Amino acid sequence: MTVNNDPIDVRFASSVQIDDVLKHLNEFQAIATASNGNRAAKTIGFNRTLDYITNFLALKTNFKVTKSFFNLRNFQLLRNPTLSSTINGVVKTHTYSTNLAAAEFYHVQYSTSVTISNNVVLTAIPNLGCSDADWLAAIPSPDGLVALVKRGDCTFESKAILASKYNVAALLLYNDGSTSSNMQPIYINLGQNNRVPALFLSYNLGQSLVSAANDPSRVATIRLTIATDTALNPTGNICADTVTGDPTQTIVIGSHSDSVPAGPGINDNGSGSATNLALAAALSSLLQTSNYPAYKYRVRFCWWGAEELGLLGANYHVTEAKKAAVVGERITDYLININLDMLGSPNFIFGIYDGRTTPTNTPAAAKPGSNKTTTLFQSWFDQNKLPWDYTRFDGRSDYGPFLAAGVVAGGLFSGADAVKTTVQVNKYATMLGGNLGGTAGIRQDVCYHQACDKTTNINEFALNKMVQATAYAIESLGQQPNLKSWLYPTREIQDINRNTPPSPYEYDSINEYFGLPYN
């Protein structure tokens, strides 16, 4: 591998200050507080967030800032949904509540409207409803019936697509009961393209209905109503480009700018958006100095809209890039997407997206570079004697559309609804000190998608380390002599086949592995 003999400059990483990130988080909190408690897409809080981001970029950077808009299908309940079951003539009316701890069922984002006023037979889809075989095995056939499907194995969207394919009257999803936190109904969304009416049930209600539906001696039927408004609303993405660097070789740094309706979204994803703003301002300042080496590559910082509604902003951007003919706007002009989504979880992990676990639809060309990006982040944590964990690269955030389009991706994640294990707590306590190990047996972010996701929900220590790691990665990528060949190497076709990260020890030195210059 060709090696540049110039020493690497690390001023970008050292110039990004945690206080700058926290100032942005305070601004996001103030916006939410003044905007009905959230910054969700299609709300005034979201629009004010976009205004804050664009105003800051105009004031503190010399970047070229662009906004792009796309239409969102609105989702708003016109009235509370209703659900009742009849088993052998015994009618039960089930409880809907926005307090999920008290609810037996909850509405589903992007459910369609339906009125089922006559008793419709319930059928339980075997296994987890993730394959045609599951749906074909259902007795009775789901065609025209209400289908009951358990959480697990595949996405809720995948289950809904199959439900639509098999022409259900309605879809009842229910929790899996695998842990104490997986008993109640949860908020989910089925995406803009969903075409089935759906509700989400508690584990206990789901299990009782499954038992009845699978018992030949009992007749189980359902009545339900869902009334929604489905008007269209414009929603925005923001991108800010360095004025130097080759636009046909672009590094994209992305974070989503929206929260869920339930709360301010300060960790999810104010932390990523604030980090993105601080990184953009710091890099703009450095690139305007005479003694900081300019990157060969354009860097594009983006804030995606409507991630919480199904990665819609990133999907729109990638779809447009696939069709674009303008130089610098084509998907082929993108070398890598670094994704920043949740960086300050209170019961944090230092999670690094694991390139070995890319979704099955990821083109082979994107895998070696994604694996290398995983190892690039690992190197920073190892060099700083900090713990880290792999986190699955399963398409749940805005990197998903980029990977699917064949663009290398990577990034960091401090944890959401997964439970921190005793092994993790012990590892973090040993390496960081006992008070920083966290708490075993509770979620990494106990306020994930809740009203309590405020500035008080941020672990500043964790956020600072994630900011520094990201700056290091961007600077390392930006100073690569030939980033394109490093990320898309023909010499490492064997790593595509074995789908494991190339080992640093296959090279003469760690510098050669990363393509970085020797000191």
| DSSP summary character for residue 517 | P
Enumerate residues 6+ apart whose C-beta is below 8 A from 431: 385, 386, 387
- CATH T-level topology, domain 77-229: Glucose Oxidase; domain 1 (3.50.30)
pLDDT per residue of the chain (519 residues) written in tens, 0 to 9 = 333 334 456 789 899 999 999 999 999 999 999 999 999 998 999 999 999 999 999 999 999 999 999 998 888 899 999 999 999 999 999 999 999 999 999 999 999 999 999 999 999 999 999 999 999 999 999 999 999 999 998 999 999 999 999 999 999 999 999 999 899 999 998 988 899 999 999 999 999 999 999 999 999 999 999 999 878 889 999 999 999 999 999 999 999 999 999 999 999 999 999 999 999 999 999 999 999 999 999 999 999 999 998 899 999 999 999 999 999 999 999 999 999 999 999 999 999 999 999 988 899 999 999 999 999 999 999 999 999 999 999 898 999 999 999 999 999 999 999 999 999 999 999 999 978 999 999 999 999 999 999 999 999 999 999 999 999 999 999 999 999 999 999 644 444 444 444 333 233 333 333 333 322
Active site annotation includes 157? no
Find the radius of gyration of the CA atoms of the chain.
24
Other beta carbons within 10 Å of 108: 27
CA distance 96 to 117: 17
Q: How do residues 269-294 score in pLDDT, each as one tens digit?
A: 999 999 999 999 999 999 999 999 99
* Active-site entry in 27, 104, 307, 308: 307
The boundaries of every CATH 3.40.630.10 domain in the chain are: 12-73+233-487
Residues of the chain with CATH 3.50.30.30: 77-229
pLDDT 10s digits, 430-457: 999 978 999 999 999 999 999 999 999 9
Instruction: Please give the model's pTM, rounded to 2 decimal places.
Output: 0.75
SS (H, E, C) 341-395: CCCCCCCCCCEEEEHHHCCCCCCHHHHHHHHHHHHHHHHHHHHCCCCCEEEECCC
Q: What are the residues whose beta carbons fall under 8 Å from the beta carbon of 307, sequence distance 6 or more?
A: 256, 258, 269, 313, 314, 341, 397, 398
Topology of 12-73+233-487 in CATH? Aminopeptidase (3.40.630)
Check if the beta carbon of residue 321 is closer than 8 Å to that of residue 239: no
Q: How far is CA 268 from CA 188, 273, 351, in A?
A: 15, 9, 15
> Cα dist. 132→10, 150, 162, 360, 460 in Å?
52, 15, 7, 18, 46
Measure CA of the first residue to CA of the last residue in the chain; give whole Å: 16
Q: What gap in Å lies between CA 172 and CA 170, rounded to an integer?
A: 7
